[in-house]
Structure 1
Amino acid sequence: MNDSNNSGDKTLTVPPSKTLSLKRPVEQGVVRQSFSHGRSKAVVVEKVKRRAHETSKAPAPAAPASGAPRPASPPPAAPSQSAPPPRPPAKPTAPRPQTGVVLRTLTEDERDARARALNEARLREEEDRRRQEADARARAEREARERAEREAADSRKKEEETRLAREAEAKRKAEDEARRRLSPTSAPASEPEPEHGLSLAPAAGSRGKPQQIIFNAPRPAAPPPAASSASAPAPASSEARPAPAAASPGGLAPRRPILAPKLAVPAVKPTRTGEMKQRGRLTVTNALQSEGDERTRSVAAFRRRTQRMKGVVEQKERLSREVVLPETITIQELANRMSERGVDVIKLLMRQGQMHKITDVIDADTAELIAVELGHSVKRVAESDVEEGLFDTADADEQLVSRPPVVTIMGHVDHGKTSLLDAIRQANVVSGEAGGITQHIGAYQVQSPLGGKITFIDTPGHAAFTAMRARGAKVTDIVVLVVAADDGVMPQTIEAISHAKAAGVPLIVAINKIDKPDAKPERVRTELLQYEVQVESLGGETLEVEVSAKQRLNLDKLLEAITLQAEVLDLRANPDRSAEGTVIEARLDRGRGPVATVLVQRGSLAVGNIVVAGAQWGRVRALIDDKGHNCVHAGPSFPAEVLGFNGAPEAGDRVAVVESEARAREITEYRERQKREQAAVRGGSARSSLADMMSQLKTAGRKEFPLVVKGDVQGSVEAIIAALEKLGNDEVAARVIHAGVGGITESDISLAEASKAAVIGFNVRAHKEAREAAEKLGIEIRYYNIIYNLVDDVKSAMSGLLPPTLRETMLGNAEIREVFAISKIGKVAGCLVTDGMVERGQHVRLIRDNVVVHEGKLSTLKRFKDEVKEVVAGMECGMAFENYQDMRQGDVIECYRVEEIKRSL
């Protein structure tokens, strides 16, 4: 089969004798189509040329004859804003060569899609053109309206200026005419009085009353005002129309009427209460002023009114501000800092799903989101920023001068630290210490034999005062370690070495008590090697001096070693700046109030300065040196007692001078708030970890020994609390309800009565009111002046709260041979004592098949018919238990004694 046998083939041809017509020119071409099995077929394709006005439309291919496949048409061009120029008609071309390529025919859906795309593009173009035209018209209308408004405003301004100038001229002329007519020379007495006119006569009364205006006759009517100033009142001039004349009594004019132009009396507007309020004294100037001299509407007000009437809201240009945000802030304060309305901030929060009032407090993150949303920049600050610049400001090298060294004397208890310092100072501090031991930290300043001064800090050596020793090591430049030659290195000596190493300060070893017969300085040097302290005599770098505080031996050598070490350190400070320092000790003096021993480290502290120490602040009322003398100022490395704090600061608090009381209050309030929050966290019931929960369960049944502790100084109270906390165990512990400095007050007794606590006073006494309240409530107050005795008594009292230890002592065993039932008594076991002895009233265990089935007491023990106290091994007896009857033959009875042993901490 081939294509020549296809009877249904209808080929499109053009007759050769085609007449001219107005039909579209047609291009012809031949396309070879290929089929399966090697068949092919030539198809003539006609293409209608495009017309110029149809260039934007896609060409529609001529439909082929039936039976022939549709020829492939080229894809339509992409729509564009402007149609391409028409192409010239193409010349008829020769038939295309038969290449064997078949073009795909567009389906109906594809043609519809292309047509829809063209229509949508055309509609979009039309819509854009209409929108642009509407925008252009609106813009032209707005410009014309604004131009008309400007022209109207200019015309109103010109009219206003013209009116003001005319009124000013009329006013000037009227004043001149009135001045001329009212002058004595202008109206002589012989001249006849005019028949008509206006006369001004002063009213009877005091000065400042309005004048009487009398009209004798009406004047001719004035011409109507101009149209341009119809709304404005008529000017008060000589040509203006006067008001109707007011007839005088009897129709007679005043005795000497004076002709004058009409004077417009300023209208007095009624107030809200209907009363006529006089604006002031009536003068010629006020009388000549027009009633229309009122403030007119400005151009800006007129424009705003027009915009409101048309519904056009002018958008104000937003100003970007830098908003300072603390950790928390109210919505009202945030709106004020941004210069925004509070309702706008609340609306923004409502869009975020948060309902707030204007007085609510929001956090800094939420406030930052709001400020950024409204176009402002944010600067975050924290509450701790109030302390910025308070401490550790750098000083220039040229401002630094040499300062005395601060030396801390440390060592074990009873090694002669205070005695050594007394020998250097030529004082007797030891005699004032209770029990012969130092329980306070002291600060002194002495003169070195080589020139200059040295500041000494004396620390206690008792184990309870470890916090004092640590505090002394922090503020010092050099540590002098005092070791007794007859005692050697002790626990507190090792602790002092650790404190010195932690503070990073040099160490000087003073071997004391070399005058004793059993002194062994070499033993001290050897023992120090175990703690990495190598003295110079053994090839190390640590200075050592053998001294005797009792015989005052080698004290000058010790001071020389301290001066030499200070020169090596090159200690300098700036004395001309605000003071900074540390509270060495603090106490509450009943006569002088809170007293704090402060070591000035930088700058100079003077009387009248405002200082801040921890959560306390005050103005320095007095400065007292170590000898009890008043001083005006305290320089670097100078210890002084400061009076003027509003409360006793805590030992170890840093002291700084601030510029104002407001800054001091701000800092102390922040620190007080921090202390309350930390106390609430410590005392809260919420636990943060599994270990804390286990610890809580472990100490749930622990007994507490409540105490109220009052001491003489802050350091002693701190040491007592630390010592009492170490006394407890898992079963009992001391709980300090309140600790403070000063005497025992009535409020302390009330607190102790409410919490069932004991009251302890260390080197203080109770006030008279407190003693009476304690006697009335039956509360015992215990006084102590040595920390040993205080700790021992509290330890003994806490030991009484411990449950006693139960100890079992084995007595013997018995075997049940027979069980007898006796009326009115119950079951009785006939037993044979196999081991030891059995006592009546002791504890017994009933063992059956090696299992304890009962524990109780032996109520009855009989030997035959007699009640006996005990039965020894190898003898038979009868036994009965308390509240137990289930005894069987073959059971074993174990008898034992329970002893209670008192426990102690």
Structure 2
Amino acid sequence: MSDDKKKLGTRPPLGIKRTVETGKVKQSFSHGRSNTVVVEVKKRRFLKPGETKPEAEAPKEETKAPETKAAPAKPAPKPAPKAEPQRPISAAERREQVKELERQAEEARMAALEEARRRDDLQKAEASEEEQRRAEANRKAELEAEKKAAEDAAKAAEDAKREAQQPAAAAPGQPRADDHRAKPAPAPAKKKDDRNKGRPAPDRRSGKLTVNRALRGDDGGRARSLAALKRKREKARRDHDSGPREKTVRDVVVPDSITVADLAKRMGEKAADLVKSLFNMGMMVTVNQNIDQDTAELLVTEFGHKIQRVSESDVDIDTSEDVDAEDTLQSRPPVVTIMGHVDHGKTSLLDAIRGADVAAHEAGGITQHIGAYQVTPKGGSPVTFLDTPGHEAFSEMRARGANVTDLVILVVAADDGLKPQTIEAINHTKAAKVPMIVAINKIDKDGANAQKVREELLQHEIIVEAMSGDVQDVEVSAKQKTNIDKLLEAITLQAELLELKANPDRNADATVVEAKLDKGRGPVATVLVQRGTLRVGDTFVAGPAAGKVRALIDSHGKRVDEAGPSFPVEVLGLSSLPSAGDPFTVVENDQRAREVADYRQRKLDEKRTTAAPMSLDAMFAKKGSETMQFPMIVKADVQGTSEAIVNALNKISTEEIEVRVLHSGVGAITESDVTLAASTGAPIIGFNVRPNAKAREFAKRDQVEFRYYDVIYHLTDWVKEAMAGELGPEIVEHVRGRAEVKQVFKSGKKDKAAGLLVLDGVIQKGFHARLTRDDVIVSKTTIASLRRFKDDVKEVEAGTECGVVLEDTNDIAAGDILEVFEVEEKARVIA
């Protein structure tokens, strides 16, 4: 190695900074490891006169003994004479001595560390060079082995060819005459230990035997790991077994539209290969992009598969064609819906049946969403009840309840008779073609007349049994719990006549009765199982939402493991919020659920974007109208209530002003709602919901108005007042008189005066006037001055001539008609 090259083990000069504390030594190991140990320093012992040094403390190697015979032991030395007494050492000198000793110890320690570093670097350099030499030797040995194997194979092939061309085989044991090949000399026997020749003997003290040491056969260098050897063997096996494999031909089901990734999954091919093929066809698509059925057919055919075309509508689930066999049906509880007008006692009657108190907890004493309960009377079978709201805004909820029910109880107050929502409930019941039981409630009140209710029902073709009809009627009192048992007997009798049955041993089919967004549980749907059994862990699809059942909660708030036919439960585990009334179906796997949910969501998006296309006439009529917009954002606690509020608000709209619901949803008011309201100036309606902390912060900054309600008619009343205030007061004109302009005179430098003949009514100073010429309004003004002859007068009656000066107009001509009217402002009321 030349002198100008940097020597191994050199280090930059040591600095003043200490690396370790005094009295310690830092040990360095491979891979950057180090350790700090404490150096034990023995104190020097001074012997007093006449005292000998013990053998244990004597140094081990003070003098070297000669290799010849040991000399006879010498007599012990005489004790040294007494030394002169030394002067005492001062504290400063003692400190100097201590510092000198510490400096010497530090220098010795640093020198030992430097020496250890040099040794480590030398060892690493030698190990690296050894590893390179060994790798080169291994590579040469592998090349020579491969070359030798190729030569042996060539020789064997040549020998086989020659043997095949030999016409006759030689006698056994005799060589052929034409075989002049010399036999190869036998290879010399290798010594047993030739492979270890030249290698140093292993040092048994260097450590335990490891797998790497056993593989490489010595202590230096680096050998291949077991994983690398396994990979090499696996690659050799694949290369040996490689050959043309038989391609699997699949029957690929392709709908009208499918993504490239989904098609590749169904074909069992790589999505990148499909994208490459489409690229060669001139189509720049990604794996998540949809392609049509014809393009998919080209890809399927190109990759050697068979296509099965299906319509996109076939993806959806149609349960109407899936009919259970008669021998699989079992009896199930009846589903009873309570309907009627608002405040006729529907929920109170259900409370009397359940023995609970739900009505007291309803806001404003009215039900505003569908409640589902299962009640088991004493000694009877279980019955499922659905309580629907009676307010006019909840028409869709009542229709939904009538469609999923087996029996309807029509509640009519004996002191109030039939009302609009009662008649609407009758129509929904007839449309659903379900039987009805009339419960005449509040018979304990003064003025109750049950017979009058029966007679009013005749107007709607409902004949009760008391009047020789086939509809059962029961007089009850929810408050006094009168005749509740008779009502339950009527329900049981009607259920027996219906012979209600369902198959519980199949996947569940249900209907979403209500849906809401819970802060702690996420999307929650109340479903009514119609057939089959719903269990925890089932994969389902509900409208455009898919999911897996995480928990089932009954009407009492308890968790259950399964729900059979006619059983209402809350389902947790939805991916998004379904709409009330959506079908709820259990499917076989997650892929099927996602496929159906995506199809339904796509159809909803198409319906939303293409709904109600505006005609050209409607567009021009809309453009010419001066209808004001009243924007707002609606957030409610449940899906059904949100729909009812939106429908009620749309009914409030008039020709002058209309409600525009920018967004409606379920759950708490969020910051995105506040951002939308701030950009449009719309108030946010919170129905049984409140904003979160971030939304309140944004609303305070952007000055967004919040309106909270828990009763729907309070909400609609405020919207009517706000819309009326937006329009301003109503202007009413009262015509007081009409006059004809006979002549026009000059009045001052600029104004003109008109001579009038009052035709009818009264002309009064200060009234508003409208000047028309050929039935076309020329100007709107006021009467600034009114004279008769030369006198100022306050008013002039019909048949009298007068002169007037009009405010801010001089466009007056003989023959014009002046119409005088009085303006009255009224507070605007929206019905």
Give the TM-score category using the shorter length: 0.5 to 0.7
The corresponding residue for 2:451 is 522
**Closer, same or farther in 2 for the Cα pair 1:807/1:632, shift >3 Å?**
same
2:723 alignment partner AA: M
The corresponding residue for 1:624 is 553
**Closer, same or farther in 2 for the Cα pair 1:441/1:371, shift >3 Å?**
closer
| Cα displacement (A) at 1:650 | 2.0
The corresponding residue for 1:462 is 391
What CA distance in whole angstroms lies between the structure 2 residues aligned with 1:696 and 1:782?
A: 30
Structure 1 residues 325-375: Cα deviation after superposition (integer angstroms, max 9, x where no partner):
3323589998996999989988998xxxxx655769653356669989999
Q: 2:186 aligns with which of 162, 174, 178?
A: 178
Find out whether 1:801 has 2:809 as its counterpart: no
Find out whether 1:781 has 2:710 as its counterpart: no
Where does the alignment leave 5 or more consecutive residues of structure 2 unmatched?
Answer: 1-155, 167-172, 176-180, 201-223, 225-238
The corresponding residue for 1:403 is 332
**Closer, same or farther in 2 for the Cα pair 1:893/1:790, shift >3 Å?**
closer
The corresponding residue for 1:471 is 400
Q: 2:526 aligns with which of 597, 615, 620?
A: 597
- Retained in 2: the 8 A contact 1:838–1:895? yes
| Cα displacement (A) at 1:501 | 1.6
Where does the alignment leave 5 or more consecutive residues of structure 1 unmatched?
Answer: 1-156, 185-199, 208-277, 279-294, 302-317, 350-354
What CA distance in whole angstroms lies between the structure 2 residues aligned with 1:521 and 1:761?
A: 41
2:711 alignment partner AA: I
1:622 alignment partner AA: A
| Cα displacement (A) at 1:648 | 3.2
The corresponding residue for 2:630 is 705
**Closer, same or farther in 2 for the Cα pair 1:339/1:750, shift >3 Å?**
closer
The corresponding residue for 1:452 is 381
What CA distance in whole angstroms lies between the structure 1 residues aligned with 2:704 and 2:716?
A: 20
| Cα displacement (A) at 1:646 | 3.2
Find out whether 1:531 has 2:483 as its counterpart: no
What CA distance in whole angstroms lies between the structure 1 residues aligned with 2:306 and 2:452?
A: 71
What CA distance in whole angstroms lies between the structure 1 residues aligned with 2:760 and 2:505?
A: 93
What CA distance in whole angstroms lies between the structure 1 residues aligned with 2:671 and 2:743?
A: 73
What CA distance in whole angstroms lies between the structure 2 residues aligned with 1:567 and 1:751?
A: 55
| Cα displacement (A) at 1:601 | 1.5
**Closer, same or farther in 2 for the Cα pair 1:516/1:842, shift >3 Å?**
closer
| Cα displacement (A) at 1:773 | 2.4
- Retained in 1: the 8 A contact 2:745–2:754? yes
Find out whether 1:672 has 2:601 as its counterpart: yes
What CA distance in whole angstroms lies between the structure 1 residues aligned with 2:547 and 2:446?
A: 54
What CA distance in whole angstroms lies between the structure 2 residues aligned with 1:164 and 1:899?
A: 129
**TM-score (structure 1 length as normaliser):** 0.60
Find out whether 1:715 has 2:644 as its counterpart: no
What CA distance in whole angstroms lies between the structure 2 residues aligned with 1:334 and 1:784?
A: 50
Tell me which of the two structures has the higher relative contact order, counting C-alpha pairs closer than 8 angstroms and 6 or more residues apart: 2
Find out whether 1:541 has 2:470 as its counterpart: yes
Find out whether 1:842 has 2:767 as its counterpart: yes
2:391 alignment partner AA: H
Secondary structure of the residue aligned to 1:618 is strand
The corresponding residue for 1:897 is 822
What CA distance in whole angstroms lies between the structure 2 residues aligned with 1:381 and 1:528?
A: 52
- Retained in 2: the 8 A contact 1:338–1:376? no
| Cα displacement (A) at 1:726 | 0.8
1:433 alignment partner AA: E
Alignment of 1:164-563 (within 5 A): 178=186, 182=189, 204=197, 324-328=253-257, 356=283, 363-365=292-294, 378-388=307-317, 393-449=322-378, 451-563=380-492
1:457 alignment partner AA: L
| Cα displacement (A) at 1:423 | 0.8
The corresponding residue for 1:659 is 588
| Cα displacement (A) at 1:799 | 2.2
**Closer, same or farther in 2 for the Cα pair 1:756/1:845, shift >3 Å?**
closer
Alignment of 1:29-48 (within 5 A): none
Alignment of 1:76-95 (within 5 A): none
Structure 1 residues 809-839: Cα deviation after superposition (integer angstroms, max 9, x where no partner):
2333445555433451343234455644323
- Retained in 1: the 8 A contact 2:536–2:549? yes
Structure 1 residues 728-756: Cα deviation after superposition (integer angstroms, max 9, x where no partner):
12332111112122222222211111121
Secondary structure of the residue aligned to 1:829 is strand
- Retained in 2: the 8 A contact 1:409–1:458? yes
What CA distance in whole angstroms lies between the structure 1 residues aligned with 2:483 and 2:785?
A: 83
Q: 2:783 aligns with which of 858, 868, 871?
A: 858
| Cα displacement (A) at 1:590 | 2.1
Structure 1 residues 746-773: Cα deviation after superposition (integer angstroms, max 9, x where no partner):
2221111112111111122222332232
- Retained in 1: the 8 A contact 2:316–2:599? no
Structure 1 residues 269-317: Cα deviation after superposition (integer angstroms, max 9, x where no partner):
xxxxxxxxx9xxxxxxxxxxxxxxxx99xxx99xxxxxxxxxxxxxxxx
Q: Percent identity?
A: 53
Between structure 1 and structure 2, the one with the greater Rg is 1
Find out whether 1:607 has 2:553 as its counterpart: no
| Cα displacement (A) at 1:482 | 1.3
Secondary structure of the residue aligned to 1:524 is helix
- Retained in 2: the 8 A contact 1:450–1:560? no
| Cα displacement (A) at 1:458 | 0.8
2:459 alignment partner AA: Q
Secondary structure of the residue aligned to 1:726 is helix
Secondary structure of the residue aligned to 1:678 is helix
| Cα displacement (A) at 1:595 | 2.4
What CA distance in whole angstroms lies between the structure 1 residues aligned with 2:716 and 2:159?
A: 98
**Closer, same or farther in 2 for the Cα pair 1:845/1:680, shift >3 Å?**
closer
Find out whether 1:581 has 2:471 as its counterpart: no
Secondary structure of the residue aligned to 2:456 is helix
| Cα displacement (A) at 1:379 | 2.4
Structure 1 residues 401-438: Cα deviation after superposition (integer angstroms, max 9, x where no partner):
11111111111111111111111111111110122222
**Closer, same or farther in 2 for the Cα pair 1:159/1:347, shift >3 Å?**
farther
**Closer, same or farther in 2 for the Cα pair 1:819/1:791, shift >3 Å?**
closer
The corresponding residue for 2:90 is none
**Closer, same or farther in 2 for the Cα pair 1:678/1:861, shift >3 Å?**
same
Secondary structure of the residue aligned to 1:182 is coil
Structure 1 residues 373-404: Cα deviation after superposition (integer angstroms, max 9, x where no partner):
99997522234433347776333333221111
Find out whether 1:730 has 2:655 as its counterpart: yes
**Closer, same or farther in 2 for the Cα pair 1:585/1:897, shift >3 Å?**
same
**Closer, same or farther in 2 for the Cα pair 1:724/1:846, shift >3 Å?**
closer
The corresponding residue for 1:223 is none
- Retained in 2: the 8 A contact 1:329–1:362? yes
What CA distance in whole angstroms lies between the structure 2 residues aligned with 1:626 and 1:374?
A: 55
**Closer, same or farther in 2 for the Cα pair 1:368/1:401, shift >3 Å?**
same
What CA distance in whole angstroms lies between the structure 2 residues aligned with 1:160 and 1:509?
A: 108
| Cα displacement (A) at 1:880 | 2.4
| Cα displacement (A) at 1:717 | 1.2
**Closer, same or farther in 2 for the Cα pair 1:374/1:829, shift >3 Å?**
same
2:632 alignment partner AA: L
Structure 1 residues 60-93: Cα deviation after superposition (integer angstroms, max 9, x where no partner):
xxxxxxxxxxxxxxxxxxxxxxxxxxxxxxxxxx
- Retained in 2: the 8 A contact 1:588–1:713? yes
**TM-score (structure 2 length as normaliser):** 0.65
Secondary structure of the residue aligned to 2:691 is coil
**Closer, same or farther in 2 for the Cα pair 1:175/1:785, shift >3 Å?**
farther
- Retained in 2: the 8 A contact 1:725–1:733? yes
Give the paired residue count.
619
What CA distance in whole angstroms lies between the structure 2 residues aligned with 1:540 and 1:901?
A: 54
- Retained in 1: the 8 A contact 2:787–2:803? yes
The corresponding residue for 1:749 is 674
- Retained in 2: the 8 A contact 1:323–1:377? yes
What CA distance in whole angstroms lies between the structure 2 residues aligned with 1:162 and 1:765?
A: 94
What CA distance in whole angstroms lies between the structure 1 residues aligned with 2:320 and 2:390?
A: 31
- Retained in 1: the 8 A contact 2:257–2:312? no
Secondary structure of the residue aligned to 1:828 is strand
The corresponding residue for 1:147 is none
What CA distance in whole angstroms lies between the structure 2 residues aligned with 1:829 and 1:364?
A: 82
Secondary structure of the residue aligned to 2:605 is helix
- Retained in 2: the 8 A contact 1:323–1:338? no
